[in-house]
Each structure stands twice: as C-alpha cells, then as structure tokens.
Amino acid sequence: MIWCPRCEQGWVVKCRVVGTEETFGICEECDTVWAAEEPSSRPPFTILDEYMEKFGKAPLWSNLERLEKGTETAS
C-alpha cells in the first residue's frame, strides 16, 4: 500500500465501488480518491463525495468493497 501523499496520516487502499467494475485508491484518513493515476501530492484532488456522485451513491465506506486489507490487519 501507499502512504497517503496528501495528508500523510493514512494508507491509500484499493477499493471497488460496489456493483461496478470501478476500482480506485482511497486514503483511509482524508478520503481522497485517485481513480486512474498513481497517488500524488499534487492537486487537483478528488474526494470521495464527488467521486461517488458519478455513480449516484452516497459517499459511505459501506458502498465500497475493499480489495486489500486495511492497516489493522496488515502484517
């Protein structure tokens, strides 16, 4: 996983929007989304609210499927 280059407080985890094939990276702390590109500290940033709007879904983690483990289970 990649340490968030924006907030430097959390990990960027790979997720999928439930019910779609869209995968993206999201920071567990600041909810910044990187859809296609590698996480970068340079703007523009996409936040989860805007990203989920495209799919007509609420910006909730329950609408996301984690494709890799979070920090709590990482070894």
List contacts with Zn ion (CB under 5 A): 4, 6-7, 10, 27, 29-30
Our CB check for Zn ion shows the closer of 20 and 41 to be 41
53: Cβ contacts below 8 Å, ≥ 6 apart: 59
In whole angstroms, how large is the CA radius of gyration of the chain?
A: 12
Q: How far apart are CA 39 and CA 50, in angstroms?
A: 17
Whole-number minimum distance, CB 23 to Zn ion, in Å? 18
Min. distance of Cβ 25 from Zn ion in angstroms?
10
- Amino acid present at 60: L
Nearer to Zn ion, 2 or 19 (CB): 2
* Smallest distance from Zn ion to CB 27, Å: 3
Q: 26: which 2 tokens?
A: 């999201």
